[in-house]
Each structure stands twice: as structure tokens, then as C-alpha cells.
Structure 1
Amino acid sequence: MNILHIDSSILGANSLTRPLSALTVERLVAANPGARVERRDLGENPIPHLTGADFSARGQAIDPVLAQFKAADVIVIGSPMYNWTVSSQLKAWIDRIAVAGETFAYTAQGPKGLAGGKRVIVVTGRGSSMLDARYDRFDHQEPYLRTVFRFLGIDDVTFVHAQGVALSADARPAVVAKAEAEIDRLFPLPNVAA
């Protein structure tokens, strides 16, 4: 199994999503001994935003970002919510992996995803809580990511939300504990025979 671990927080050691996405990867590796993990830190080493020249050059050279994505069986993404959506760093990565003829195709019947068979796990970090009715229709993160991956042919997408961290000065420990419990439930440690 090839696991691609994407971090997209700009907050470094203060990130909510970095340790939670790392825990998810740790659990996947524990359940799949021998799994190979590649990590791409978009906060520390951002990918340049797509330019017209980049777009025109597609197909003339192998894009290492696209090749890394295509080689992955499982993609774990740490995605903080910035201004109700994904970070611009994550959007730049998406623009490099959504490539006609590589990960999707236009057909007479409409678009067809070519990257099926992968699994995506997204760990989000949110200052607000989308469970609060006051924020109904504010979430442009999960729907956007589901749409992107469905467009690429990936239907196996799981979300773990760490949300409400900015609602009070002491909210973070409980938010993290709840997200860790969800990761424990989704990806339990394998039983080890005594």
C-alpha cells in the first residue's frame, strides 16, 4: 500500500490538523505493515499556483506532484478550513492533480474520473462548528473536496472533523480528543496476539 500524506496548514507546530492527520497515517501503517508513506507539506513547501505557462506545458513533462498522486493507494489530507473553504496551498495541489487525460476525461456522456480505486481520508480543522445552525451553508470545504474527488473518480472519501476550536479559549483539548476518538473508531489499532 502506498500512502500519500498531505498537510496543508500554514500554522506549523500550532496546527490542529497536522497531529491528527499524522495519527491517521500512523493507524493506517499499523494496520498495513510494510505500507510506504510519502509526505508532502504544502504549508512548509508550497506548490506554486498554476500559471498559464504551466497549463500549456501539460503533457510535455512528467509533473512530480501528479505522479505522486497517481502512485498513491490512500491519500490522507490535513485540511484546515480557511475562510469557509480549503487553504490556497491545498487548492494549488488540487490544480496539479486534476489533469484532463490523466485523472479525468471529457466524454460524450460527460466527465469521467480516471483515478478510481483510491481512498481519501480528510482530517479537517475548523474554528467554528458546522454543527451550529448559525453556520448552515457556510461549509465550502467538505462539499468542494467531495466534488473534486468524485470528479476524479474517487468515491471512497472519509472525513474526520475537528471543529469548534475557536469557540472558547479552552475548547482545543476537547475538540482534539473528540477527533482522536473518531480516528480510533475508524482506524482501530490491530489486535496483537500475546
Structure 2
Amino acid sequence: MFTDLVLCNDYFSDLGFDSVVNVNPVEFVNKHELKKRLFSPGLKVVLGCKDNRAIVEMKQIDVLLSPEKGVRRDSLHHRNSGLNHVICKLARKNGIAMGFSFNEVLMNRGLKRAVTLGRMMQNVRLCRKYKLRMVLGSFARTKWGMRAADDLISFGIVIGMHPAEAKRSLEVVDVVLKEKKDRKYVLAEGVKILK
């Protein structure tokens, strides 16, 4: 069951998706401000910034979108993609998925697009190494920015996912929403409310 994530209210319904989820990503200012904004129902998506570690330390977050945003410059010997081994281990421990936005690539041109694609490729490698869930979505601001499910699968393959991983990354949203619904009945780790 493929699910696309969009930022707009009007969207095309015949692009090969079983469902389309409208999300409103939250920008990180500081931890206290972010905690206030995360009480809204639905999928909790936070935009990546310079301090991705502070974001993944919070357990209420479901998806960290575009961790490569807000990254300054690459160093001489390695690419600064917004993720590292510490952030990946924290995200794995807290059950946070990494989001890859096709709109981020679509709206950039020239060298900036190439740098963004390179950073996404680096993040896919890190997500695979540390067994993080990956979410692919168009994250379109208008309905004209939406792409078909096959196009997003191809985009996932371009940034380094295996074909099975790319298909799974379109299905992860349903798994995250189901876990979120189940999490509502958990009082503490190992203690669950039964009806």
C-alpha cells in the first residue's frame, strides 16, 4: 500500500497511491518550542536543520525530513550530509524515520541540485548501515509538484536505495501511523492497556 506525503490540501488522486497524507512539517527553533508544536494529532514531521541531534533525541517525532537541510559546507575529506553515526543510533533507538523529499530536488537547479543529491545518497548509505526506516515522498507544495509512485521509486533508486527498499519506503508511513496508534495504549515500556 503506497502512501505519498504532500504539503498542500488539493492533490491528484490518480497517481498510483493508495492514500495521500497531508503533513505540516515543523521547523526546529529550540527544544521547548518544538515540544509545544508537537501536541497536534497526526504524523509528526520535523524539518532537518543544523542541530539534527536535538531533534532525534525527542521520542515524539515520527519523521525527520531532509536532514541535509541547514548543513553548512562539506569538509575536504567527507560530505557533511546532516547525519552521522551518533544521530543514526539515536534515531534508531527512538524509532524516527528519515524522510527524503523529491520536492527538495525538483526546486533546486544546477550545482545546488547536485550537492543535494550527493548528500541524500550519503544519508541513504547511513540509513541502510544503521537500519533506519526511510520515507520517500513528493512533499509537493502544489498539486503540480506531485509525482507518480513509480517516479518516486525511480528517485529512490537514483539516490542509492535498492528497488525493494524504495518500494518499502513508500509503505513505511502506514507502518508508522499504525505504531503511533498502538503507542497510545502503552503506559510504560512493557506495560500495555488492554481493552
Tell me the TM-score normalised to structure 1 length: 0.38
More strand by share: 1
Larger Rg: 1
Tell me the TM-score normalised to structure 2 length: 0.38
